[in-house]
Structure 1
């Protein structure tokens, strides 16, 4: 039996897009929940989300998935690996509420969720045997 990492090797582009796709898909799920809980909503209404919670989780995702990235250049590994999560933490601290139009969240959410699933499946298929351990 092989014990493999959940993620395979990520490209820099997929690593950068992973937290953004997470934010988009969570926004879509929140919009769906909002529509189920309040069916009298109009598509022009606004969806308010907790920015510290969303951007905090996105920053954590960026930090914990950075070890799976195939860095092309040394400067990327040294600066981008630290700066990108720090920008998200800065957004989490600076913003209190993240407001999105409900219609936009319902459009962007499913697309982001599909792209996130495709990215995760592609990285899972691109795993090396070095990523797997035998117990």
Structure 2
């Protein structure tokens, strides 16, 4: 039986975009749920999101997926691998709430979700056999 990583090797660019696409798709889901669950439905309103929650999850996603990146240089491995998640954590700590127009969240959300899905499927299919371990 082979034990393979779910996420294959990421490029630096796709790793950098991964949390941003997560934020966009999460805002789209939140906007859709807000439209469905709120009785006076209106597209003119604003959507208020929990920035600490969203950016905290984005920082976690960035930290957990950093081990799957093809780093080209040593400074990238140290500087980007630690700096980018710390930037996400700083956004999580410094922001209280994030307000977006409802229409913008509904437009950005599905596009971000499709791009996120495309990146994840592509990296899944581009896994190497070297990334897999044989279980006994």
Could you tell me the TM-score, scaled by structure 1's length?
Answer: 0.98
Whether the 8 Å CA contact 2:25–2:108 is kept in 1: the answer is: yes
- Deviation of 1:41 after TM superposition, in Å, equals 2.5
Whether the 8 Å CA contact 2:52–2:95 is kept in 1: the answer is: yes
Secondary structure at the aligned position of 1:31 is classed as helix
Structure 2 unaligned regions, length at least 5: none
Worse-superposed segment, 125-134 or 105-114: 125-134
Q: How is 1:1-40 mapped onto 2 (pairs within 5 angstroms)?
A: 1-40=1-40
Alpha-carbon distance between aligned partners in 2 of 1:107 and 1:39, rounded to the nearest angstrom: 21
Flag as ranges the 4+ runs of structure 1 deviating above 2 A: none
- Deviation of 1:103 after TM superposition, in Å, equals 0.3
Structure 1 unaligned regions, length at least 5: none
- Deviation of 1:38 after TM superposition, in Å, equals 1.1
Q: Which residue of 1 aligns with 2:84?
A: 84
Alpha-carbon distance between aligned partners in 2 of 1:25 and 1:41, rounded to the nearest angstrom: 21
CA RMSD after TM alignment: 0.7
Whether the 8 Å CA contact 2:35–2:42 is kept in 1: the answer is: no
Q: How is 1:1-135 mapped onto 2 (pairs within 5 angstroms)?
A: 1-135=1-135
Alpha-carbon distance between aligned partners in 2 of 1:39 and 1:67, rounded to the nearest angstrom: 44
Whether the 8 Å CA contact 2:9–2:70 is kept in 1: the answer is: yes
Alpha-carbon distance between aligned partners in 1 of 2:5 and 2:22, rounded to the nearest angstrom: 19
Could you tell me the TM-score, scaled by structure 2's length?
Answer: 0.97
